[in-house]
Every structure is written in C-alpha cells, then in structure tokens.
C-alpha cells in the first residue's frame, strides 16, 4: 500500500507539471486575445481555467499521497512552510513554494470578480515564477528527476514555455497590435 | 423589462470575447473594442439585452478578462 501511494505520488506530480505547462501556454494564448484555429476566444479562456483546475487537482493528489506514504517523510507543516523537510529540504521546499503560489493564484482567479482586476493580475504574475520553481523541484526532488526521459520532458517543456514567453514580450503579441501601432490611420 | 449590458471602456482592452458571444448585439471596431450595434439614447456603451441573449450576456460578463462588463436590470428607455 505504501509503495502504491509513493508511486502514485510521483506519477500525479508529473501529470500535474505537464498540465501546469499546458496552463501557462494556454494562459499566454488567452492573454494575446487570439482564437486558436477554430476554437473561439471565450473557449480558450475556459480551457485555460479548466486545465489549471485539473492541474491543481493532481497537485493536491500529489501532495496528499506523499503525505500519507512513509518514504517521503512529509508532514503537514512541509505542505505549507518551505525548506523544513527531512529529505532534500531545499528541493522539497521549492515544491512547497510552488504549491503555495498555486493556491494563491487559483483562489484569486476564482474570486477575481470580487477582488477586482488589479489584485487578480498582480497575483497572476506569480505564475511565471511558479512554473520554473515547480520544474526545479521535480528535477531536484523527484526519484525520476534526473532520469533521461524526465530530463528530456523537462527540456522540451522549458523550450515551449520559453518560446511562449518570447512571443509574449514580442511587439506583435496582441491580436490588435498592428492596428494599434498604426495610430489613427 | 429588459437587461442592460454596460461596457466600461476604461477597463476594456478589446479582447473580443464579448463580441464572439453576442455577435448580434455587438460590433467590433478596428482596435478590437466592442460597440453596441444599436445605441441606447445615442450611447454605444449600453446595450439592451433581450431574454434570448441573457444567458450569453451573463457568460460574457463572467469571462471578460478585464471584468469590464456588467449587467443591470433596467427599464428600457431610461438612461443609466
Ligand atoms: C482557476 C484558475 C485560473 C483562472 C480562472 C485563470 C484565468 C486567467 C485569465 C482570465 C487570464 C487572462 C488575463 C488577461 O487576459 O488579462 C489568465 C492568464 C494567464 N494565466 Fe491564468 N487562470 C487560472 C489559473 C492559472 C494557473 C494555475 C496558472 C499557472 C500555471 C496560470 C497561468 C496564466 C498565465 C501564464 C497567463 C498569461 C498572463 C500574462 O502574460 O498576462 N493561470 N488566466
Ligand atoms: S470581453 Fe471584455 S475586454 Fe474583451 S472586448 Fe469585451 S469588454 Fe473588452
């Protein structure tokens, strides 16, 4: 049973990371205001939210199963307070930091109509910090973290996220960028 | 009685979600901003929403990334 929990903890962590990568990519696309081929803009926004919630669900399963198993030696404090862990405290602490950031981002996102656009946006910027922190946690803390296939997955994910970021800061990022640059012509 | 969808252009960034959801009520200008197809008292930032479009309007209010839309119950014909 313990072994099963431990294995499940690892797999759910990897699934969660892949889904968060997808969340960032679709988030950037939503921010651009562009539809995705035949998928309209409002659906892109909904897809972004739903992948984020799914990723969060796997993250909760990841933390929950490792909390219950005896290999990882996690306790309830480690779930919220970083860098106190028994096993590789630095790398595990990065996971805790990412978890706390995800909680803050998801809660402010779901309540964004109540808290207003400023707070929502300010907290949402932390997603760009959270993703590399989560990736570093996976590589440094995971049993599979330094195996070849995982490093390939990590490198591929990092490449697409960096690509999305480069697009995000480029001049023609917004769907309406060209018209708006053109002034009143 | 009908509902009125109010577009707050100071918040709106012309992302076009609302114009997708309410194509029969809203036009999109070249900069991406939504405009009422039919002005209410000469004002194109207030849109009369009939019950048939009420659901889509609610969705637009919910999904607008800038939270620039609001929906109010209003007696048609009176201003804001
Ligand atoms: C319930 C969960 C979430 C909701 C409802 C939500 C909603 C949104 C919305 C509406 C936008 C577009 C903002 C705009 O157009 O101005 C956005 C952008 C974005 N989201 Fe989320 N989000 C959620 C969770 C997450 C999570 C967990 C992540 C991290 C993995 C994330 C990463 C992003 C990114 C990277 C952007 C683009 C930000 C930018 O460059 O301006 N989101 N999100
Ligand atoms: S959805 Fe919101 S930001 Fe986008 S065009 Fe409509 S009002 Fe403006």
A4: its two tokens:
């099963």
The segments of chain B whose pLDDT lies below 50 read 78-80
Count the helices and strands in chain A (H runs, E runs). 9, 0
What are the tens digits of pLDDT across the range B2-15?
788 999 989 999 99
Closest CA to B70 of B60, B78, B61: B61
What's the distance, CA A89 to chain centroid? 21
Whose structure tokens read 């990371």? Answer: A17
Using CA atoms, how far apart are residues B23 and B34, in angstroms rounded to an integer? Answer: 10
In eight-state DSSP terms, residue A138 is H
pLDDT at B79: 46
Closest CA to A36 of A27, B21, A19: A27
A129: its two tokens:
């910090």
Q: What is the pLDDT along chain A (185 residues), one digit of tens a residue?
A: 567 888 888 899 999 999 999 999 999 999 998 989 899 999 999 999 999 999 999 999 999 888 887 776 778 888 888 888 777 888 989 999 999 999 999 999 999 999 999 999 999 999 999 999 999 999 988 877 778 898 999 999 999 999 999 999 988 888 877 777 765 44
Pick the CATH number of B3-72 from 3.10.20.30, 3.30.70.20, 3.30.365.10, 1.10.40.30: 3.30.70.20
Q: How far is CA B49 from CA B4, B6, B10, B24, B55, in A?
A: 6, 10, 21, 10, 10
Which numbered ligand comes closest to the C-alpha of A40? 2
Is A181 an interface residue toward B (CB < 8 Å)?
no
Using CA atoms, how far apart are residues B77 and A92, in angstroms rounded to an integer? Answer: 62
Q: Which of B10, B12, B13, B15 to mutate to test the interface with A (most CBs of A within 10 A)?
A: B15
Q: Is A30 in the pocket of ligand 1 (CB under 6 A)?
A: yes
Q: How far apart are the first and last CA of chain B?
A: 14
In eight-state DSSP terms, residue B61 is H
pLDDT at B80: 43
A87: its two tokens:
């096993």
pTM: 0.89
Which numbered ligand comes closest to the C-alpha of B19? 2
Using CA atoms, how far apart are residues A87 and A176, in angstroms rounded to an integer? Answer: 50
> Which sequence spans correspond to the domains of chain A?
2-184
A124: its two tokens:
């949402």
Q: How far apart are the first and last CA of chain A?
A: 69
In eight-state DSSP terms, residue B8 is -
Residue of B12, B45, B70 to test ligand 2 pocket, by largest number of atoms within 8 Å of CB: B12
The partner residues of B28 in beta bridges, in order of sequence, read B34
**Angle, helix A2-32 to helix A148-168, in steps of 10 degrees:** 20
Using CA atoms, how far apart are residues A75 and B10, in angstroms rounded to an integer? Answer: 48
ipTM for the predicted complex comes to 0.83
Using CA atoms, how far apart are residues A154 and A145, in angstroms rounded to an integer? Answer: 9
Question: SS3 for B23?
Answer: coil
């Amino acid at each position: 049973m313990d072994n099963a929990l431990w294995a499940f903890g690892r797999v759910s962590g990897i699934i969660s990371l892949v889904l968060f990568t997808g969340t960032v990519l679709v988030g950037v696309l939503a921010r651009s205001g562009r539809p995705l081929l035949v998928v309209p803009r409002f659906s892109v926004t909904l897809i972004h939210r739903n992948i984020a919630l799914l990723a969060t669900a796997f993250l909760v399963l990841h933390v929950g199963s490792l909390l219950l198993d005896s290999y990882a030696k996690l306790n309830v404090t480690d779930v919220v307070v970083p860098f106190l862990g028994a096993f590789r405290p630095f790398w595990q602490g990065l996971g805790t930091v990412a978890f706390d950031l995800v909680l803050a981002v998801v809660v402010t996102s779901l309540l964004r109509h109540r808290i207003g656009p400023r707070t929502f946006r300010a907290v949402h910027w932390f997603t760009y910090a959270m993703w590399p922190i989560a990736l570093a946690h996976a590589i440094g803390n995971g049993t599979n973290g330094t195996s070849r296939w995982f490093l390939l997955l990590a490198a591929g994910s990092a490449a697409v996220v960096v690509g999305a970021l480069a697009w995000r800061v480029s001049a023609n990022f917004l769907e309406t960028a060209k018209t708006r640059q053109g002034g009143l012509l | 009685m009908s509902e009125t969808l109010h577009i707050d252009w100071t918040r709106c960034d012309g992302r076009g979600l609302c114009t997708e959801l309410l194509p029969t009520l809203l036009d999109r200008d070249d900069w991406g901003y939504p405009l009422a197809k039919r002005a209410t008292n000469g004002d194109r930032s207030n849109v009369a929403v009939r019950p048939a479009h009420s659901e889509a309007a609610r969705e637009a209010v919910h999904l607008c990334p800038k939270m620039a839309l609001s929906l109010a119950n209003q007696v048609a014909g009176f201003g804001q």
